[in-house]
Amino acid sequence: MKRFAGRLGLFVALNAAIGILVLAAVDARYAFEQWQTDSLLLSTPRDTHFDLVILGTSHARLFTRIKHNYDFLSDALDMQVFNLAIPFGGGILLEKMYLRNFFERGNRADILLYFLDPYVFFSPLPNKYHKFVYYEPLRMSFLLEMIRNGMPFERVFTYIRSKFTYRWITQEPVLIAYESATLADWGIALEPKRMRARAESLYPDGLSQGYFQYYSPMLGEVLEMARAHQCRMILAFPPTLLGHEKGAPQVLELIEGYRKQYDFEFCDFTAAIDDVDLYYDYDHLNSPGLEAFVTRFLEPVLTERKGS
């Protein structure tokens, strides 16, 4: 049996070494800017100071995923901006993990602006079952963070395995220069029935109180990290044509509950932009929409001093 254990261990170690060598060789090639990739780990630098760090879902990811948006945002605010918002509807569990990774890499931020979508508290789909496993590089610290946060084994397995695929090995930076499309360009009409269906689709598990109880303390962990790193914390609802989500009242109550413990600001931008030509779908701003939002709403908030 010792011979078996020894040989099995050697076999596993040799193959693991081959895997690590392949991963290291592939990883060494990748250094993307935040507008070139959906991966947050690939674009997160080390030991860098940012004036503004954005968190949220795809509603906030578009602030820097499109090159023009990033340039406009940085110039209009005159700030070094980093975007930790998670595309494809990333939830609070993931945001907490990414933010912790950001700080652990020695980075600093003056302002954390979290565009909080209420739906992220009510289902594991944007959290444990999000597709980030496919586009994030294999990092041991992040892998351990996934395990610590109770990610299902299948997700961990897929996270590791997807780094040995042709798609991962041959990926190139993707540049989206500008987003000018509007709802009309996509043939999306402002039909109440379609809009209700879209809003409902954000809640595949309904207003599950079980999931809400599980995920709501993670907002406190984000607020705690902001306090620990002396960041000005702003929570906000992002602009949308769909109105307040059905989970909004409960999330507002949650936010109010944290006011006793943490110092932060809250802005409700839900109805901030109501011009349909400034969206490319019901809840994502196009580039002109982003310009309008930043100029009219975001800049005043970010440059406003506390207490004034």
Partner 1 sequence: MLFNSTRFVFFFPIVVAAYFALPFRFRWVLLLAASYYFYACWRVEYSVLLIISTLVDYSAAIMMGRTAQKRVRRRYLILSIGANLGLLFVFKYYNFFRGAVAAGLSGVNVACPLPVSHFLLPLGISFYTFQTMSYVIEVYRGRQRPEKHLGIFALYVSFFPQLVAGPIERSYNLLPQFAVGPFEKHRFDYDRVTNGMKLMAWGFFKKVVIADRLAVIVDHVYGDPTQYEGFGLTLATVLFAFQIFCDFSGYSDIAIGAAQVLGFKLMQNFRRPYFATSVAEFWRRWHISLSTWFRDYVYIPLGGNRVALPRWYLNIIVVFLLSGLWHGANWTFLVWGGLHAAYMLAGRAGRPVRERVAGALGLTKRPRIEQGIRMLTTFALVTFAWIFFRAPSLSEALYIVRNLPSGWGVLLSPAQIVDTIGSMCSLPDFLFVLAMIVVMECGHVLQARGNVIEFLAQRPVWVRWPVYSALVWCIFLFGIFTHKEFIYFRF
Contact residues for partner 1, defined by CB under 8 A:
1, 3-4, 11, 14-15, 18, 153-154, 157-158, 161, 164-165
Between 12 and 177, name the residue whose CB sits nearer to partner 1. Answer: 12
Are residues 280 and 185 in contact, defined by beta-carbon separation less than 8 angstroms?
yes
Between 80 and 158, name the residue whose CB sits nearer to partner 1. Answer: 158
Between 18 and 177, name the residue whose CB sits nearer to partner 1. Answer: 18
Q: Going by C-beta distance under 8 Å and a sequence separation of 6 or more, which residues neighbour residue 73? A: 63, 64, 79, 81, 290, 294
Using DSSP bridges, classify how beta strands 279-281 and 284-285 pair: parallel, antiparallel or unpaired. Answer: antiparallel
Smallest gap from residue 32 Cβ to partner 1 (A): 24
Smallest gap from residue 26 Cβ to partner 1 (A): 14
Q: How far apart are CA 92 and CA 121, in angstroms?
A: 7
Tally of CA atoms within 13 A in the half-sphere of 167 that contains its CB: 5
Torsions phi, psi for 241 (to 5 deg) = -90, -5
Q: Going by C-beta distance under 8 Å and a sequence separation of 6 or more, which residues neighbour residue 78? A: none
Between 156 and 301, name the residue whose CB sits nearer to partner 1. Answer: 156
Between 46 and 166, name the residue whose CB sits nearer to partner 1. Answer: 166
Neighbours of 147 (CB within 10 A): 12
Between 14 and 197, name the residue whose CB sits nearer to partner 1. Answer: 14
Smallest gap from residue 148 Cβ to partner 1 (A): 18
Are residues 122 and 203 in contact, defined by beta-carbon separation less than 8 angstroms?
yes
Residue 214 burial (10 A CB sphere; 0-12, 13-18, 19+)? middle
Neighbours of 74 (CB within 10 A): 15
Between 22 and 31, name the residue whose CB sits nearer to partner 1. Answer: 22
Smallest gap from residue 129 Cβ to partner 1 (A): 13
Smallest gap from residue 169 Cβ to partner 1 (A): 11
Smallest gap from residue 198 Cβ to partner 1 (A): 27
Let me know how many helices (H) and strands (E) the chain has, helices first.
16, 7
Smallest gap from residue 20 Cβ to partner 1 (A): 13
Between 169 and 184, name the residue whose CB sits nearer to partner 1. Answer: 169
Strand partners, 235: 114, 266
How far is the CA of 117 from the CAs of 43, 58, 284, 306, in angstroms? 23, 10, 12, 24
Smallest gap from residue 149 Cβ to partner 1 (A): 17
